[in-house]
Amino acid sequence: MHRFIRRILNLTPSARHLAARANAIEGVEASLSGSRYFIGILMTIGVLFSCSPNERQAEEGKQKYNVLFISVDDLRTELNCYGASHIKSPNIDRLAAEGVRFREAHVQQAICMASRASILSGIRPEKQGIYTGESVADLMPDVLTMNMFFKENGYNIAAAGKIYHHGIDHEKQFGADYMIPKKSWTGRGYVTKEAINQISLNTTHHRGPAYERADVHDTIYKDGINTLNAVRKLEELEKSDKPFFLAVGLSKPHLPFVAPTKYWDMYPEASIAMPEIREMPGNSGKYTMRLAGELGNYYGMPSRYEDIDNETTLILRRAYYACVSYADAQVGYLLDQLDKLGLRENTIVVLWGDHGYKLGDYGNWCKWSNMDIDTRIPLIFSVPGGRKGEVVDIPVEALDIYPTLTALCGMEEPSHLEGKSLIPILNNPEHRAESKEYAFTIWPQNRWNYDKTIMGYAVKDGRFNYV
């Protein structure tokens, strides 16, 4: 707890943001100067607890591992492999059975833009103004991102779907290596005439309905065509003598909850239950949660401060579940292609969510808080020759993905990374690393007005969440 208090006292968000605008590189180095000691400890631990698959690879002089990097937008830990038996997620379950699943993994800020920028840069969102959600290109144009690190180390890199939040980052980070799909949808992903017509009826926000179902092939919606492109890209990458880093970003189950009918049919109306906890937690205050968020921007949805009735709640939960199973199917296509091409034995697969999500829980919707339901994510590492079907209860951070992948692939991590390698835990899921006692998260109120930002903090130890 003393460490958590020191972290709070050292943060001055507005000052850090202005410093980042003046000089991004100096800001990164300054913000990390106090953590060199811990990086030294991390490097020592890496020697003592090196992952056996990585050791074997070095001994036999094999090619570096490939990396399949799968991100899923707005994905709760409400999955079958996480104990939610009502969810149909056979492919993510399969991946969990082939690797190590983290039960207490948390992003550092529960919003798409900042979470992704933090994960891919390796820097906490309270640094460099990341918490505002601006592009990496604007906030820290010279930072060595995860994908560029792999490229600099001789990897072929490629990406499809939502990896970064902003288009300018996809362009600058991947260039011609980013696969742009041919659109077969309108607006934010609609394919039915009714939904498309409702876009124009929403004169305030110009968004269609919050959900849609259509009797179409998976590839008519965005995630399906992006996955198809990634599957085809694997065929090309397999022929190269260089290892690859392939990032695939699935947009569902982000709003709008649109998915083919067959996934809706997996969840009969009578099977959908209301959220278990519908009241705000005790001792919460006006800054604990942000009401409703973006849901109110969609056609036919109540405005931000209006209650959502039970009937609408059940429909939205069903639509979300359908999108989860749709995204799960795309994961299955990717895993099947790895097997088909004989790539699985030399490819690390990591699946992660960019934050959690509320579906009427606490009488609230969407994300944007320090509550566990918003910050906890699915995180699964499947490493060739590694542990299988293991579950880790130790709190870890999404920031740990970058250093873990670099270490697994036998490369020296960049000095600016603020996460910790999870190799000791992957090698022994019962190992409790002192460097991973807590997970830290932030949520800023009024994040665009730097002089008036109210920063909220939380520290999680796997049992309690102190907000």
Residues taking part in catalysis:
112, 165
- Cis before 209? omega within 30: no
CB burial readout 275-301, b (16+ within 10 A) else e? eeeeeeeeeeeebbbbebbbbbbbbeb
Query: Token digits for 37?
Result: 């000691």
Query: Token digits for 211?
Result: 């959900």
**Element at 401 (helix H, strand E):** helix 401-408
3-class DSSP assignment, residue 95: helix
R_g over Cα of the chain? 21
Q: What share of the chain is helix, strand, coil (3-state, %, to 5)?
A: 45, 20, 40
Interhelix angle for 52-60 vs 401-408, to 10°? 40
Q: Measured between alpha carbons, how far is 216 from 262 in angstroms, rounded to an integer?
A: 9
DSSP string, 231-283: HHHHHHHHTSSS-EEEEEEE-TTSSSEEEEHHHHTTS-GGG----S--SPPTT
Within 10 angstroms of residue 116's Cβ, the number of other Cβ atoms is: 27
3-class DSSP assignment, residue 293: helix
Cα distances (angstroms) measured from residue 183 to each of 151, 218, 319: 28, 13, 22
Q: Measured between alpha carbons, how far is 337 from 319 in angstroms, rounded to an integer?
A: 28
**Element at 261 (helix H, strand E):** helix 261-264
Residue whose token pair is 């990585």? 54
3-class DSSP assignment, residue 294: helix
CB 415 within 8 A of CB 375: no
Query: Token digits for 467?
Result: 């907000």
CB 349 within 8 A of CB 247: no
Q: Measured between alpha carbons, how far is 103 from 145 in angstroms, rounded to an integer?
A: 26
